[in-house]
Amino acid sequence: MAERRELLASLLLLVALAGVALWADAAGEPYYVNLASRVAILGLAGVGLNLALGFGGMVSFGHAAFFGLGGYACGIIAWHAGNYEPVLTWPFEVEGTDRMPPIWGVAALVCGAAAAAIGALSLRTSGVYFIMITLAFAQMIYWFAISWPAYGGEDGLSIYVRNGFPGLDSYDPLSFFAIAFGALLVALAVSGRLLGARFGAALTMARLNPVRLATAGIDPFPVRLTGFVISAVITGWAGAIYADLNGFVSPSMLSWHQSGELIVFVILGGVGRLAGPVAGAAAYVALETFVGGATERWPLILGLALLGVVLFARGGIMGALAGKARHD
């Protein structure tokens, strides 16, 4: 019952998002189409984080690392393609590309490898240690991006020609929205599927009761690490698409503030709700656009609103829409 209500609320939310994009496109308002793309991409990043944070109980304050690495993978490969310089000359030559699918593949590989290394170290600990360590490693990558001069350093890297997608004109705002929205749907379907699978059962128990998981004959560490890597890959995918949306990637995508925002999407939407981050990202972008447009004190209002949500309205937007979460 509660589950059907959540499914219904999630579907309505996605339909509304697509509806906004279609309406804005018909009304000749590309600004709002791009806003909808932004919601879809940030929602996608949040869906990735939610897998670790909401379902696996791993409170990562460093997911901006993966968001930014995905963004830089996109920016760097496109930069090489634009300058006709190979990305690698050794041990074999790799050319840059201006197509999204191979760029996404590289972003996924890079983020997966980074998450495997960071996860292997931070998952030796738990609780508050885990929060601080993920934050610290993300900061390490942030400082590296700032001080490494080859790809723009502090100034960031522009993507002069938006990368293409087979069969679509990626410069058309609605087509770009379709790409982002499609990625979001794929991530939601994949997450939903694997959470219902054996792996999801193990990951859920790793959050609820790791002692029980081990006693049932399943070692929590590899389960958590796998969940962390999948989560990072999805967030990195979002980062790669976000770089194309903005035509720009900079260290701010790697910053602790970005990590905090990703957590905000997840919690604002409702922890452990599959589509929660999309609701959270939508609310965040809408507030930022309309309140931020009206007053420059918008961070103050956001901060107070977040405090209100944490102290008094736990459960987030999906909690309000779909009632209390229940497991069967």
**228-287 binders of other proteins (CB under 8 A):** 256-257, 260, 263-264, 267, 271
CA 320 vs CA 2, 137, 263, 301: distances in Å: 12, 35, 18, 21
Q: Contact with other proteins (CB under 8 A): which of 219, 290, 313, 320? A: 219
- Sign for the CA dihedral angle at 62, 64, 70, 75 comes to negative
The minimum distance between CB 57 and other proteins, in angstroms, equals 9
3-state SS class at 159: coil
Distance of alpha carbon 147 from alpha carbon 45, whole angstroms: 26
User: What's the rounded Cα separation, in Å, for the pair 230 and 16?
Assistant: 27
Terminal C-alpha separation, the chain: 10
Closest contact distance (angstroms) between CB of 325 and other proteins is: 8
5 versus 297: smaller Cβ distance to other proteins: 297
Q: Is 209 in the site for other proteins (CB under 8 A)?
A: yes
If you ran DSSP here, which 8-state letter would residue 163 be given? P
d(CA 134, CA 301): 28
Q: Which is nearer to other proteins, 21 or 133 (CB)?
A: 133
Name the minimum Å distance from CB 43 to other proteins: 18
Cβ-based nearer residue to other proteins, 141 or 180: 141
Binding-site string for other proteins from residue 3 to residue 42, where x marks contact by CB under 8 A and - marks none: ----------------------------------------
Q: What three-state secondary structure class fits 37?
A: helix
Written as one letter, the residue type at 143 is W
Rounded least distance, CB 26 to other proteins, Å: 36
Nearer Cβ to other proteins (43/210)? 210
Question: Which C-beta is closer to other proteins: that of 17 or that of 203?
Answer: 203
CB 154, min distance to other proteins, A? 12
Binding other proteins (rule: CB under 8 A), the pick from 41, 42, 53, 281 is: 53
Q: Which of 37, 163, 226, 231 is in the footprint of other proteins by CB under 8 A?
A: 226
**CA dist., res. 272 & res. 322, Å (int):** 13
State in angstroms the smallest separation of the CB of 316 from other proteins. Answer: 11
Chain positions 124 to 163 lying near other proteins, rule: CB under 8 A, are 124-125, 127-129, 131-133, 135-137, 139-140, 143-144, 146-150
Binding segment toward other proteins, per CB under 8 A, in 12-20, 92-100, 193-201, 235-243: 193-201
CA distance 203 to 226: 9
Instruction: Kindly tell me which of 28 and 127 has the beta carbon lying closer to other proteins.
Output: 127
Residues 164-183 that bind other proteins (CB under 8 A): none
Name the residue nearer to other proteins (CB basis): 111 or 174: 111
Contact (Cβ atoms closer than 8 angstroms) between residue 47 and residue 184: yes
Report the residue from 12, 300, 313, 320 that binds other proteins according to the rule CB under 8 A.
300
How far is Cα 248 from Cα 158, in angstroms, rounded to an integer? Answer: 4
Check the CA dihedral 47-52-56-59 and report its sign: negative
Per residue, the 3-state secondary structure of 242-277, as one string, reads HHHHHCEECHHHHCHHHHHHHHHHHHHHCCCCCCHH
x/- track of binding to other proteins for residues 54-83 (CB under 8 A): -----x-x----------------------
Phi-psi region of 219 (alpha: psi -120 to 50; beta: other; left: phi over 0): beta
Nearer to other proteins, 108 or 178 (CB): 108
